[in-house]
Structure 1
Amino acid sequence: MEMVSLSAIHDAQKAERFSDLANLCDNLDLELASKGGELPEDWPYVIHLLGHILVSDLNSARFLWKRIPASVKQNQPELLAAWKIGQCMWTHNYSGVHEALHNFEWSHDVRPVVGRIAEDYSGRIFRLLSTAYSTISVTDAASYLGLSINDTIIFTGKNGWGFDPSSQMLTVHPLVTTVEQKLDASNLQSLTEYVFHLEH
Structure 2
Amino acid sequence: MDYTALTEAISSKSYEKIAEMCDDLMLQGSTEGVVNNEDWPYAIHLLGHIYVDDINSARFVWKNVPRVVKENRPEVTAAWKIGQRLWTRDYAGVYEAIREFNGSPEAQSLVDSFSEVYTKRMFQLLRSAYSTISIQETALFLGMNEEDATKYVLQQGWSVDPASTMFTVKKQAIVTEQKLDPSKLQRLTEYVFHLEH
For 1:112 and 1:176, the matched residues in 2 are separated by 33
**2:192 is aligned with 1:199:** yes
Match of 2:129 among 127, 132, 135: 132
**2:28 is aligned with 1:31:** yes
Contact 2:37/2:66 (<8 A) preserved: no
Equivalent residue number for residue 16 of structure 2: 19
Equivalent residue number for residue 121 of structure 1: 118
Per-residue CA deviations over 1:111-152 (Å, capped at 9, x if unaligned) read: 221122112211111111111111111001100110110111
Q: Which runs of 5+ in 2 are unaligned?
A: none
| Number of residue pairs matched by the alignment | 193
Partner secondary structure for residue 110 of structure 1: helix
* Residue identity opposite 1:199 in structure 2: V
Contact 2:133/2:168 (<8 A) preserved: yes
For 1:197 and 1:158, the matched residues in 2 are separated by 51
Equivalent residue number for residue 66 of structure 2: 69
Partner secondary structure for residue 176 of structure 1: coil
The alpha-carbon deviation at position 108 of structure 1 amounts to: 1.2
Relative to structure 1, is the Cα distance of residues 146 and 9 closer, same or farther in structure 2, using a 3 angstrom cutoff? same
For 1:194 and 1:47, the matched residues in 2 are separated by 59
Partner secondary structure for residue 92 of structure 1: coil
For 1:118 and 1:177, the matched residues in 2 are separated by 27
Relative to structure 1, is the Cα distance of residues 179 and 107 closer, same or farther in structure 2, using a 3 angstrom cutoff? farther
Identity, % of aligned positions: 41
The alpha-carbon deviation at position 106 of structure 1 amounts to: 3.5
Per-residue CA deviations over 1:151-199 (Å, capped at 9, x if unaligned) read: 1111111111111111111111112232456x7xxx5865754553343
**2:100 is aligned with 1:107:** no
Partner secondary structure for residue 106 of structure 2: coil
Match of 1:51 among 48, 65, 83: 48
The alpha-carbon deviation at position 109 of structure 1 amounts to: 1.0
The alpha-carbon deviation at position 7 of structure 1 amounts to: 1.5
Relative to structure 1, is the Cα distance of residues 180 and 107 closer, same or farther in structure 2, using a 3 angstrom cutoff? farther
Relative to structure 1, is the Cα distance of residues 133 and 96 closer, same or farther in structure 2, using a 3 angstrom cutoff? same
Partner secondary structure for residue 105 of structure 2: coil
